[in-house]
Chains A and B, each alone.
Chain A
Amino acid sequence: MMQGIMDLHHDIFFFLILILVFVLWILVGALWHFHYKKNPIPQRIVHGTTIEILWTIFPSLILMFIAIPSFALLYAMDEVVVDPAITMKAIGHQWYWTYEYSDYNSSDEESLTFDSYMIPEDDLELGQLRLLEVDNRLVVPANSHLRLLVTSADVLHSWAVPSLGVKCDAVPGRLNQISILVQREGVYYGQCSEICGTNHAFMPIVVEALSLKDYCDWVDSHQF
């Protein structure tokens, strides 16, 4: 998804630069050619049908060309075509996240569930990020299609990781699905993005993407 967002950004930037160059060119040209020393008697043209039609039609065409990839991405984003490899659940609490991995369960009780609290400033080690580090990260495999179901146990929260291009409201009583494909291994940070009370700023999100093998080792070592 992030790839799609970046591509849309580049597409739009193409138009943006064209327009910028054109406008600057006209502006500088006007200042240059119609300087009062060069052009002491101003012209008094107040109406031109042709140019008015042109400057109405061209911008609307440009907007259409921007809208096409934009809508394509919009609808591609919430459509889930691929069968995911893993389902995870992120449950917002005041003020921490709980993650559940229940794909490997054989009964209702035993599931890989843990809370993810922010590491307070005094406990930070050298190199850790203030207000972003958590004690238990959400561990996922890279290059796999993931389904994340976001919900809340109390008030509205929002699960967001900008680097992965996802933001999803956590609504009590409702499961919101987002699909993620992490394209390379690494650690990705995010924060709760829906004001949820006093410690709203202190419930960060950390996603750790591992290779599939390391992920399986991690699950094996954390289960039961």
Chain B
Amino acid sequence: MAAEASTLSEQYLLKGKEEKTDVVSKPVEVKAEEKLVTAVSEEAMEKAEETPQLVAEEKTEDTPAAEESTEAPTTDESSSEDAPAAAEETNEGAEENSGEEAAEEKQGIKLETAPADYRFPTTNQTRHCFTRYIEYHRCVAAKGEGASECDKFAKYYRSLCPSEWVERWNEQRANGTFPGPL
């Protein structure tokens, strides 16, 4: 919620600083450790044995931050594959989303929709909607009416299918003329 109060430019500024300090601090820490290791002579072998562990630990601590930065570009390929300048902006946009989505759940609605499905990677999503509708009704047939496992399929097909189509299919199912495998 604090992020929402500040202006966009302020958010960007903050993000930039955080990222920079991350990037700078990492190598320095590691180098300092390495110097220690090389400087300490044989008498401190025990200590030296400890320090690699420390380094390793610190590295693992650092990796989440690094992962975040590597993760973000891959998620934004669609909007800015050949726009490195835009990549940063969209990344931060995505981060804001995740931050604000949490805030959203306090309110009435939940920002959630059917995820992108690798079975339907193209512009044409007709079968995506149809498949989700069938999946829901097969799930209900298998697990029984009101099974909580099926709720997500219901959400998906409602998100994807125009209500007119759903109404027509519901009618067809009631009449036993539904064309799909149920």
Instruction: Please name all residues of chain A whose beta carbon is closer than 8 Å to the beta carbon of B107 when the two chains form the complex.
Output: 216, 220
Interface residues of B, CB < 8 Å — how many?
53
Binds B, one of A47-55, A59-67, A75-83: A75-83
A82 touches B160 (CB 8 A): no
Q: Decide if the interface of chain A is mainly helix, strand, loop or mixed.
A: mixed
Complex Cα spacing A147 to B115, Å:
10
Q: Are B104 and A212 within 8 A (Cβ)?
A: yes
| Contact A72:B164 (CB < 8 A) given known A79-B121, A104-B109 | no
Q: Does B82 contact A (CB under 8 A)?
A: yes
The answer to whether B124 touches A176, judged by C-beta atoms less than 8 angstroms apart, is: yes
A145-B116 Cα distance, complex, nearest whole Å: 11
A191 in the interface (beta carbon within 8 A): no
Do A83 and B116 have beta carbons less than 8 Å apart?
yes
Contact, CB under 8 Å: A4 / B116 = no
- Closest CB-CB distance, B146 to chain A, in whole Å? 12
A149 interface residue, CB < 8 Å from B? yes
Q: Do residues A143 and B123 form an inter-chain contact, with CB atoms below 8 A?
A: no
Assembly CA distance A81 to B116 (angstroms):
7
Given A145-B94, A174-B124, A176-B125, also A86-B81 (CB < 8 A) = no
Q: Is the CB of A83 within 8 A of B115?
A: yes
Q: Is B90 an interface residue (CB 8 A)?
A: yes
B77 interface hit (Cβ, 8 Å):
yes
**For the complex, is A173 an interface residue (Cβ under 8 Å from B)?**
yes
Q: Tell whether A80 pairs with B116 under 8 Å between CB atoms, given A1-B79, A7-B82, A183-B93.
A: yes
Tell me if A196 counts as interface (CB < 8 A to partner B): no
Report the Cα distance A223→B83, complex, angstroms: 38
A78, B158: Cβ atoms closer than 8 Å: no
Interface of B is mostly: helix
State in angstroms the CA–CA spacing of A79 and B98 once bound together. 22
Within 8 A of A (CB), among B51-80: 74-80
Determine if B82 and A100 form an interchain contact, defined as CB atoms under 8 angstroms apart.
no
Complex CA gap A195/B76 in Å reads 34
Query: Residues of B contacting A104 with CB < 8 Å?
Result: 109-110
| Known A4-B83, A143-B97, A181-B93; contact A211-B4, beta-carbon cutoff 8 A | yes
Determine the residue in chain A with the shortest Cβ distance to B170: A108
Contact with B along A112-125 (1 / 0, CB 8 A): 01000000000000
Given A100-B162, A212-B97, A220-B107, A76 and B78 touching (CB < 8 A)? yes
Chain A residues contacting B76 (CB-CB under 8 Å) are 81-82
Q: Is the pair A100, B77 in contact by a Cβ cutoff of 8 Å?
A: no
Query: B159 to A153, Cβ gap below 8 A?
Result: no
Is B37 in contact with chain A by the CB < 8 A criterion?
no
B160 x A87 contact (CB < 8 A): yes
Say yes or no: is B167 at the interface (Cβ < 8 Å to chain A). yes
Chain B positions within 8 Å of A84 at CB level: 113, 116
Q: Determine if A81 and B77 form an interchain contact, defined as CB atoms under 8 angstroms apart.
A: yes
* B77 adjacent to A79 (CB under 8 Å): yes
Please determine whether B83 and A7 come into contact, CB atoms closer than 8 angstroms.
Answer: yes
Q: Does A94 count as interface, using CB distance less than 8 angstroms?
A: no
Q: Which residue from chain A places its CB closest to the CB of B117 in the assembled complex?
A: A80
Among residues of A, the one whose C-beta sits closest to the C-beta of B98 is A85
- Within the assembled complex, what's the spacing in Å between the Cα atoms of A187 and B45? 67
Q: Which of B86, B104, B159 contacts A7 (CB 8 A)?
A: B86
